[in-house]
Chains A and B, each alone.
Chain A
Amino acid sequence: MEILFFASIVGYFAATVLQAAGVTLRKDALCRVARIIFALSFVLHTGFTIWRGVAAGRIPLANQFEFASGFAWSAAIMGLVLYARLKQEWVLMASMPVAFLVLSYAAFQPMEIKELMPALRSTWFALHIGSATFSYAAFAISGGLGVHYLLQLKKGHAEKESRMVQTDYMIYRLICLGFLLLTVVILSGAIWAEQAWSRWWSWDPKETWALITWILYAIFLHQRIRMKWQGKRMAWFAIIAVICVLFTFAGVNKLLPGLHSYAV
């Protein structure tokens, strides 16, 4: 069944390349093929995730491999849903590479199915980690859109063009969604920690970095109101903040072990 996993990585990669080629060469047919491959890869990825959940007898989000796979899956479904609603190619330009890169990262993590630690058998844990995959995916796609926005600016598109305004708005909306979900991650994590260990908050490095990421985005949301940070600034922020998200997601486990180091 691992073949489904590797097939989805190849599919996400092919979709990314074809989409980039289609947009650059303005060939709609290539974009259409990219979309079909992306949707099929998503179906395979979903199949793999369901199989893994059934084989493990639990929600497949209990270690770094499964979490990364969930993150990539969330990015893919968000991309597909947004495309279905907006019919804009740039949405897929951002979500396809995110799905591919995050799933490739998953491939380098230990894949074997392990028994769930007693501390992880909790509804609050499921909410905590489930909302984290979607939150990180929203932030990562906003970062991808940030790159796309800057590239468009470089190509000579003006900030006032309606497509650019839409991209800017989408970056903001994704950050809002990611922020709301990250709030759920932090609060459900606190409730879970209190249920499991009696402490709401223990300044464990992973918790601390989730809080740093949260405050960083909070500062940005205020700067948007206070200093009218939009357009180019917003795009740069979306990219830089993703580095913080990725550090919270992967870097902390490797560099700053603590209570969450089960996720290594």
Chain B
Amino acid sequence: MKKIIRFLRSMQFGMILLVLVIACSVAGSLIVQQREPMEYVNRYGEGAARVILALQLNDVFSSVYFLVLMAALCLNLTLCSIVRLPRTVKATAQLLSRAESAPVEHELAPQQVEKVSTYLKQNHYRLREKDGRKIYVKNLIGFYGSFFTHLSFLLILVVGALAVVTATVTDQTVMPGETLTLDDDTTITVESFQIEDDTGLLDYASKIVMRSADGMKEAAREIRVNEPMSFEGYKVYQQTYGTAGSVEIHNLVNGASEVMHLTESCFLTLDGVDGLFFQALYPGYVKAEDGTVTLITSTSGAYSDPVYDVLSVAEGSMSPVLAFPGETLTIGDVSFTFLEPTSYPGLRIKHVSTAVLGALYAVFALMVAGLYLCFFMVPTAVAVTENGYTIVSPKPSTGLIIGLNACLEEEET
């Protein structure tokens, strides 16, 4: 049992797990993921497709073995960190006691010893005197570097999984002027939406107002890509956009009128027989010299010359019509006035615990700090006596030796 635990917490096991993560990642990046089974047959042939599906290589990162791998890595890191923590705490005292008793490694003349002391002071080493021995120390906090690094890696896996599992995400399109009510009665009103800024630069942005269910809290913000709005545990993203046809329908009999936004093909009719069949809205067109019109089918910007592609259905016959904003088409007792199209945002609404989010940011910072301590704050003690000096450090002190040698050579020359 002891042997098994020793293996489970060993660096060797950790490295095996990391190699396996690499293997899964390579497979997951080379084989297209999360496609229909037929696509694998078409791409890789039937035999290979069967192997891919059997080994879940079509969805490596959600496969059982990948999750087991991650769990094993967490276990390994936890055990390894627990075992190493007491050693880390004791490391400073051990370093100092080694420095106190270490024999002189680099013998020097007295004036050179003085030079070494000056160099160390200049390089921010702190002096501790013990039994007549001068011990210069630096970066003792560095002992905690690898502990923080491993802890942060473990926490990134745990808190990251928590952030993904506890988040709920919904996508909604909302017309400008409309209000969306969420499950807990929080509301989101889209006041306006733009595709381009004043200079014509692409800039998808929605002005939104959010109100809490009890109406006590309200906040407004312009959201755009990279600038979501956070409100009471919600994060609202400017995710996509669309452009809807807008038609004012006027009932010539009773005088009633209504504006409708059209996002997909539909039949607008009062009696179920005559009416307007909306097929599509095009962003622009090119008119040739002979008068023929070619429609532009897609754009990433605003619709510059919108064209409505509709069918007029009257008395049992259909006739295609290309209509432009401002035009009116009368069919029976109804007139249809084509308006400038309406651009609208697609919002992504994510509900996520603020505490989890904050924890994830903190853990990211801990990892960077941990690595900095590991690599750039190497704990070092230099014992200086009247005969010379000795360096004690858990890592090679090549940098310090180069510096000290340069400083001593300078003196000689």
Contact = CB atoms under 8 A, between A and B. Distances in A.
A binds B: yes
B25 A219 contact: no
Contacts of A177: 375
Contacts of A6: none
A3 B108 CA distance: 56
Contacts of A212: 22, 25-26, 29
B364 interface: yes
Q: What interface size band does chain B fall in?
A: 35 or more
B160 A187 contact: no
Contacts of A196: 225-226, 237
Contact of B235 (A125, A179, A198, A203): A198
B29 A209 contact: yes
A46 interface: no
Interface stretch (A10-18, A28-36, A102-110, A115-123): A115-123
B227 interface: yes
Interface string B350-393: 10000000001100100110011011100000000000000000
A222 B14 CA distance: 10
A208 B26 CA distance: 8
Interface in A141-155: none
A125 B374 CA distance: 26
Contact of B22 (A165, A169, A184, A215): A215
Contacts of A169: 396, 398-399
Interface stretch (B95-103, B129-137, B201-209, B283-291): B201-209
Given A166-B398, A198-B237, A211-B25, A121 B61 contact: no
B367 A183 contact: yes
A222 B368 contact: no
A200 B164 contact: yes
Contacts of A240: none
Interface in B180-216: 201-204
Contacts of B55: none
A216 B61 CA distance: 18
Nearest to A211: B25
A259 interface: no
Contacts of B18: 215, 218-219
B402 A166 contact: yes
B226 A122 contact: yes
Contacts of B343: none
Interface string A169-185: 10001001101100110
Contact of B11 (A176, A180, A222): A222
B19 interface: yes
A226 interface: yes
Contacts of B314: none
A53 to B, nearest CB: 17
A184 B28 CA distance: 23
Given A118-B204, A215-B18, A223-B15, A198 B368 contact: no
Given A169-B398, A215-B18, A226-B15, A118 B28 contact: no
A195 B402 contact: no
B202 A115 contact: yes
Given A195-B228, A200-B163, A165 B398 contact: yes
Nearest to B236: A198
A203 B61 contact: yes
A256 interface: yes
A117 to B, nearest CB: 8
B169 A180 contact: no
B166 to A, nearest CB: 13
Interface residues of A, number: 45
Nearest to A177: B375
Contact of B28 (A165, A179, A208): A208
Contact of B29 (A176, A197, A208): A208
B348 interface: yes
Contacts of B239: 197-198
B375 A176 contact: yes
Contact of B33 (A176, A179, A195, A203): A203
Contacts of B224: 118
Contacts of A250: none
A191 interface: yes
A186 B169 CA distance: 23
A215 B12 contact: no
B372 A180 contact: yes
A191 B160 CA distance: 12
A216 B22 contact: yes
A191 B361 contact: yes
A217 to B, nearest CB: 11
Nearest to B169: A198
B244 to A, nearest CB: 21
Nearest to A192: B226
A118 B11 CA distance: 44
A125 B226 CA distance: 10
A165 B398 CA distance: 8
B262 interface: no
A1 interface: no
Contacts of B228: 195, 198
Interface in B12-70: 12, 14-15, 18-19, 21-22, 25-26, 28-30, 33, 61
A121 B375 contact: no
Nearest to B156: A187
A115 B204 CA distance: 14
B371 A118 contact: no
Given A176-B375, A191-B361, A208-B28, 4 more contacts: A173-B399, A184-B368, A195-B227, A201-B160
Interface of A: 86, 115, 117-119, 121-122, 124-125, 165-166, 169, 173, 176-177, 179-180, 183-184, 187, 190-192, 195-198, 200-201, 203, 205, 208-209, 211-212, 215-216, 218-219, 222-223, 225-226, 252, 256
8 nearest interchain CB pairs? A169-B398, A176-B375, A122-B226, A118-B225, A208-B29, A205-B29, A187-B364, A180-B371
